[in-house]
Amino acid sequence: MVKGRTLLFLVFGLWISTEVVGMTEPSQSTTVNSTVSSRPKVVKIGALLTYNSVIGRSAKPAIMAAIEDVNSNRNVLPGIELQVIVHDTNCSGFLGTVEALQLMKNEVVAAVGPQSSGIAHVVSHVANELHVPLLSFGATDPTLSALQYPYFIRTTQSDYYQMHAIADFIEYHGWREVIAIFVDDDNGRNGVAALGDALSKKRARISYKAAFPPVASQSDISDLLNEVNLMESRVYVLHVNPDSGLTIFSIAKKLRMMSAGYVWIATDWLPSMLDSLVRADTDTMNILQGVVAFRHHIPDTDLKKSFISRLKNLKDYDTESFNSYAFYAYDSVWLAAHALDVFLNEGGNISFSSDPRLRDTKGSVLNLAALRTFDGGDQFLQTILRMNFTGLSGKIEFDHDKNLINPAYDILNIGGTGSRSIGYWSNHSGLSVLLLETVYMKKSSNTSTSNQKLHSVIWPGEITTTPKGWVFPNNGKPLRIAVPNRVSYKEFVAKDKNPPGVQGFCIDVFEAALKLLPYPVPRQYMLYGNGDRNPNYNNLVDQVAQNNYDAAVGDVTIVTNRTRFVDFTQPFMGSGLVVVVSVKEDKSSPWVFLEPFTPQMWCITGSFALFVGTVVWILEHRFNEEFRGSPRTQLITVFWFSLSTMIFSHRENTVSTLGRLVLIMWLFVVLIINSSYTASLTSILTVQQLSSQIEGIDSLISSTQPIGIQDGSFARKYLVEELRIPESRIVTLKNMQGYIDALQRGPKHGGVVAVVDELPYIETLMSSTDCKFRTVGQEFTKSGWGFAFRRDSPLAVDLSTAILQLSENGDLQRIHDKWLNKMECSNDADPNKLSLRSFWVLFLIFAIVSVLAIIIFFVRVLCQYTKFSPEPEEVGDEIQPTKYRRTCKTHSFKDLIVFVDKKEAEIKEILREKREKRRRSKSLDGLFNSPT
């Protein structure tokens, strides 16, 4: 902005000194009205464009045609003649600014233009001071939408949207890095900045910005392209001026940069240039084969066709064909006309007055008062911004950022003698093959990645497969791959005497993944570390991030702080930190047979055994002679039966149905308990026991004893910074033998209580030591090993896909078995005792069955007892019922006990005799009472 104002004041000085020196000083009044009219006969607007340019040759006839159409239309500005004053900016920022100032002294109410973004930046300051709206049909610089330029109104599409369209196109084809080639001016720099912002949202980036001056020689361009060609990326976005862009393609053709593997994306400058040609010559089209270009989308209407036909019939202009800027220029004039008509109808006045701030200072030769301020400029500006009509270029309506709504682009693929459409882009639909007018009819937008579609593209070199978008740098150097020079666990990666100088599981996985890539990868393995101790892996990753190496291949763990600086592939080995401790054989105790069950379980089992003996005795006592006898004999029987059923050695038979049911249920319970007891006792007698009380990471943190870690591992940083373990407790162990010695000595003899390391190392350790060590607890981190590459390296993505293929086809497992074939070690170092929690449902079911059986038994006994009663005593021929009732009442409970103790056979016999006696008694009563 400061540079713009400085240039503006210099221009003021040069212009005013030549134009107004010697003029009479204006009146000293603060405001002088030169014209005041509510409905003037003539209204003047200006036009700023470069006549001799691709855009100017199309825009000028369109502007003149629009002026003619407005003046012939009786519905817009009736009775008013719209005049246009055209100034040539000469494709120069300085001269263009001078012409813009000259235009402003003509008291125009609006200016159509300028077409240059650089001139627009400067002239916008003048427009702000004089309140004259600028309707620019060609300045696409996104920064011109800033609040700094309130009077700048863009009547074409902002490059902000074009760059987002290009970013969507790049994402659609899976590219992650592009090189931007652009003219180093306001339009080029700010457009490329918008592209960088758009790509960052797609997880892509501009890897290099190749800028050249607005006036660059062919040798400068050639040097720039040679420099670009030495880089990885093969996706080029060309954002230049229409008048000089073909030179770049011509030089690129000579440098063989228009061949297979290259991707060229041109912004709207290229279609604008081609559309301005009636027929492009063969040499031009041969240069552009395979280029993808973006063009402003202009609806294909009958009005558009009629307008193009009309312009082609004009004889006074230097072009026979027109590009999209002609339609925007035509609509800009109509926008001014419509807004002016509304402005006047709403009572606006067209008047100009002197601004006190532009009054000459005393003694100055600058006559700044020659510039007049449009009094109704602010009202006219607001009127323009709320216009809503359909023009040749489509819908003319502005959003809150003063940009035209519904930005859209055609995506063209140049080939043969012309170009073909491969799709469209709009902020409503993203990439689409549907005609945009059809898309706009849908009320809801859908720009999700799954809905993006384009037709196939014929790329440079006449190939139809999508280029991968990058190659190895064309400088003859192979990929520099750092490999950890390990001194322990050499199964994973180690130095080798034979080419390529390294070996191990990680190297084989990397080589197998490279074989799956569709292109060769020249590489050179470089050992990292002195060989005396394991290298620091954080430093190794930093070396890759600093571009001292292109990649790191080995047992490199993917952790958060490393992913901030490098890109990792898909993990090829799962990993995570675990705690490993030493174990020892536990000498068997003479009371080991009690250990399978908890004390509670032993008590419950014994109680239920006695309970089942009692229940079976109750159910069998009346039926089974084996459950009868003296009280002492019956008590012994109950105890014997209870204990013998635990080992299925009971000799007593059950004869009652309920007794058998209860016994069957109990034997099932006993079967389950015996099986569980046997399994648990077997495990206890054979399992190894821990030599320490560490049961996992929590108990390790709470202890105060030393902890061992592997030299060079990230475990130290994790334990100290994340788990807050004092660094004084950390002991660095150099190799596997150091692990073994430290764990076996233990903390009391200068060793460690446990070792914290990654699971693959620990599994190798346990396998190599015949399972003398055990992991305790669970993995307390979840990560994996991956190959590290420089940030945004496309090779990381391709190798991730290759690693997934290795996993799916089984090659990854075969490589694992080749290097890491290990014995399995059980981690069950502390078997849990069996408790009631494991069997309570079983005991509950048995208890319910037993209780139900007893209830059924006593209900049956009570039913029998109600039918059984002692016979009343007879004295002579009289019955004594009173004594009988008294006897029953006094001895009922005793009688019940006696009744229950009787054998079932006796009860049945007594009941049978009672029934027989009652039958005979009824027969005698009937005989005596019958009439004789």
Q: Convert the pLDDT of each residue in 878-927 to its tens digit.
A: 444 444 444 444 445 666 666 676 676 677 677 777 777 777 777 766 66
**Which CATH architecture group holds 42-157+302-396?**
3-Layer(aba) Sandwich (3.40)
Among 316-325, 420-429, 849-858, which stretch is predicted with the lowest mean pLDDT?
A: 316-325
Q: What are the domain boundaries of the chain?
A: 42-157+302-396, 159-298+407-441, 592-686
Average pLDDT, the chain: 83
Q: What is the mean pLDDT of residues 611-632?
A: 75
pLDDT bracket for residue 27 (50, 70, 90): very low
pLDDT for 894 equals: 67
CA angle (575, 576, 580) in 5-degree steps: 115
CA 736 vs. chain centroid, Å, equals 39
CA 147 vs. chain centroid, Å, equals 35
Which residue shows structure tokens 């004259």? 132
300: three-class secondary structure by DSSP: coil
Q: Are strands 373-374 and 350-353 parallel, antiparallel or unpaired?
A: antiparallel
Q: What is the mean pLDDT of residues 424-441?
A: 84
pLDDT for 867 beyond 70: no
Among 259-268, 669-678, 776-785, which stretch is predicted with the lowest mean pLDDT?
A: 669-678
What are the E-state strand segments in 766-885? Answer: 773-776, 783-785, 788-790, 874-875, 878-879
Q: What is the mean pLDDT of residues 44-49?
A: 93
Prediction pTM value: 0.68
pLDDT for 585 equals: 56
Residue 903 CA: distances (Å) to CA of 76, 182, 279, 899, 908? 125, 115, 124, 9, 9
Helices (H), 411-536: 436-439, 505-515
pLDDT for 119 beyond 50: yes
Q: What is the mean pLDDT of residues 686-699?
A: 71
Do 159-298+407-441 and 42-157+302-396 have the same topology in CATH?
A: yes
Q: What is the mean pLDDT of residues 54-81?
A: 92
pLDDT bracket for residue 652 (50, 70, 90): low
pLDDT for 22 equals: 33
Among 190-204, 519-533, 767-781, which stretch is predicted with the lowest mean pLDDT?
A: 767-781
Q: What backbone phi and psi angles, to 5 degrees, belong to 84? A: -120, 135
Tell me how far apart the alpha carbons of residues 929 and 348 are, in angstroms, rounded to a whole number: 138
Give CA torsion, residues 48, 52, 57, 59, to 10 deg.
-10
Which residue shows structure tokens 């009479």? 24
Taking each helix axis from N to C end, the angle separating 599-620 and 631-644, rounded to the nearest 10 degrees, works out to: 130
Q: What is the mean pLDDT of residues 324-348?
A: 94
Q: What share of the chain is helix, strand, coil (3-state, %, to 5)?
A: 45, 15, 35
pLDDT for 690 beyond 50: yes
pLDDT bracket for residue 679 (50, 70, 90): confident
Q: Per the structure block, which two tokens stand in for 6?
A: 């400085």
pLDDT for 829 equals: 47
The domain 159-298+407-441 is placed in CATH, from the list 3.40.50.920, 3.40.630.30, 3.40.50.2300, 3.80.30.20, at 3.40.50.2300
pLDDT for 794 beyond 70: yes
Tell me how far apart the alpha carbons of residues 709 and 176 are, in angstroms, rounded to a whole number: 39
pLDDT for 572 beyond 90: yes
Q: Per the structure block, which two tokens stand in for 74?
A: 């009786």
Give CA torsion, residues 709, 712, 714, 719, to 10 deg.
30
pLDDT for 931 equals: 58
Q: Are 340 and 43 in contact (CB under 8 A)?
A: yes
